[in-house]
Amino acid sequence: MAGLTGAAVTDPFLAPGLGAALSDWLAQMSALRGAAANTVEAYRRDVARYLRFLSQHRGGAEGIAAVAATTQSDLRAWMAEERARGLSARSLARSLSAVKGFTAWAADRTGADATTVLSARGPKFRRKLPRPLSIDGAAALLDTIGDDAREDWVAARDTAVVTLLYGLGLRISEALSLTGASQPLPPVLRITGKGGKIRVVPVIPTAAEAVAAYVALCPYDLAPDAPLFRGARGGPVNPRLIQSATERTRLRLGLPATATPHALRHSFATHLLSAGGDLRSIQELLGHASLSTTQAYTAVDAARLMEVYERAHPRA
């Protein structure tokens, strides 16, 4: 976290003590909550902008106690400025969440009353629904993604990776983080997801067979501590290679532009829900921290049911 500390302390709009406080909070976020590096960096940017605004809005750099006791007027002015510079409602809601986290931490250390900030409501926005593939579309993609590969082992690799995304609901980063110790695939996999959260995922036979087919053809030594999926020169696979293979396949099949590797994870959840899967179980399989995140798939399922209904019962 040294880099983050330096960036905060040298900011001309922040008092040195406030910059150090921001760095301490970020370090705690990383160490205790297991926040991913990208999340920590996003929070740093969001809170630093907020602190700079307060300093300018109030006419000078302030300490941590003053920040913890921000007034409703200050908070509204900050939110108005963020919207004026073009920040979306979704992004502003994320920034407010970061600000609340830092303010709660600051209030805990100074004894300030942070009720105003912590009770502030973020802007309302419509959450984007996941865009899964149809069952036939997902099956076609898995069956043909290797058709353009120049070598059989590369075709088997791409097929194995996308089968893990659709068959187990993995993120592409999770699939590509598997090591040689994972093969042959066991009945269940322990997956380390976002924030270092570990979940247990059952392995379906199709996924185990796809990985076994790749392992049998792979020309490289898949040592237990080395990446399972390899690039052409033997190094770890760049996610962009899988994304490119998926893009070529969806163009060939005439699938929508939303047919990406991550859409296969959405498809896993949506198709499981359509087949009667329990929402809590799907939450565990996906590694969602909040059930509300998983509930988005119920809206997708309902939307598809309405499409079927309207096709079967056209309006006069």
Residue 315 is a catalytic residue: no
What does 38-84 look like in DSSP terms, one character per residue? HHHHHHHHHHHHHHHHHHHHHTS---HHHHHT--HHHHHHHHHHHHH
239 Cβ neighbours under 8 A, 6+ residues apart: 172, 173, 176, 261
Please pick, among 44, 157, 171, 271, the residue that the annotation labels catalytic.
171
Position 133: which residue type?
A: L
Chain centroid to CA 294: 13
- Could you give the CA distance from residue 288 to residue 293 in angstroms, rounded to a whole number? 7
Query: Coil, helix or strand for 88?
Result: coil
Residue 171 is a catalytic residue: yes
Instruction: Give counts: helices (H), strands (E), the chain.
Output: 16, 2
Per-residue tokens: 174: 């999770």
Please pick, among 50, 166, 214, 297, the residue that the annotation labels catalytic.
297
Residue 262 is a catalytic residue: yes
Please pick, among 44, 49, 230, 288, the residue that the annotation labels catalytic.
288
Q: Are 263 and 269 in contact (CB under 8 A)?
A: no
- Could you give the CA distance from residue 232 to residue 244 in angstroms, rounded to a whole number? 15
Please pick, among 194, 199, 248, 304, the residue that the annotation labels catalytic.
194
Position of tokens 């019962």?
313
Please pick, among 262, 271, 304, 313, the residue that the annotation labels catalytic.
262
Please pick, among 49, 265, 266, 271, the residue that the annotation labels catalytic.
265
Residue 57 is a catalytic residue: no
DSSP 8-state class, residue 194: G
Residue 128 is a catalytic residue: no
Active-site positions? 171, 194, 262, 265, 288, 297
